[in-house]
Copies of this chain bind each other. A is one copy, B any other.
């Protein structure tokens, strides 16, 4: 008999999302999560830095996608075109099967300010990484910061639409649409 089951991390994440969905983030204690996942409280904190972090694991793969999108884009693109390439690349993460899971997760986040704070920090980190990648492609500091913020804004607004009830369009389509709106907005 194994002393511990494999997949502890995944179990903790799944159990957390379930409990948060049922009673809200605040009303659930780490002790409860640990108990349901058959580990001790201490083990939870071995995997996740704090209680909120359990919902934000795996964000670095998204960051990598954005950065890779910029790094692999052809030469001669404008900052905005580089940002668009990053968005296109990141869209792969949002397959249709993930929609309902994303919806559940986002609904939990929207109901707790502490989780919103953490999400915003992750998006800020994404923007910072993207800005860095753009600067490596020769974009000036200020332009890179602006373009990165722009891309993250497009991403966030598209994501909200993507998980809206009844939405059929893919993340890639939505992002392109929002980006077009953005360009129309600033050219007028």
Interface of A toward B, CB cutoff 8 Å:
78-80, 113, 116-118, 120-121, 123-124, 142-143, 145-147, 149-150, 153-154, 156-157, 178, 181-183, 185-188
Q: Complex Cα distance A153/B154, Å?
A: 13
Inter-subunit contact B157/A153 (CB<8 Å): no
Inter-subunit contact B181/A143 (CB<8 Å): yes
Residue of B nearest to A50 (CB): B114
Q: Report chain B residues within 8 Å CB of A80.
A: 185-186, 188
Main secondary structure of the interface of A (DSSP, over half): helix
Q: Complex Cα distance A154/B178, Å?
A: 19
Q: A79-B185, A146-B182, A188-B78 are in contact. Are A113 and B121 (CB under 8 A)?
A: yes
Q: Complex Cα distance A157/B146, Å?
A: 8
Q: Complex Cα distance A121/B123, Å?
A: 11
Interface centre among A118, A120, A123, A186 (most CB of B within 10 A): A186
Q: Report chain B residues within 8 Å CB of A143.
A: 181, 185
Q: How far is the CB of A70 from chain B (nearest CB, A)?
A: 15
Q: Report chain B residues within 8 Å CB of A150.
A: 150, 153, 185-186
Residue of B nearest to A183 (CB): B186
Q: Report chain B residues within 8 Å CB of A188.
A: 78, 80
Q: Report chain B residues within 8 Å CB of A181.
A: 142-143, 146
Q: Report chain B residues within 8 Å CB of A142.
A: 157, 178, 181
* Supplied contacts A117-B120, A146-B178, A150-B153, 8 more A-B pairs, CB within 8 Å: A78-B185, A142-B178, A142-B181, A147-B185, A150-B186, A183-B186, A186-B187, A187-B187
Which of B118, B146, B178, B183 has a CB less than 8 Å from the CB of A117? B118
Q: Complex Cα distance A187/B181, Å?
A: 13
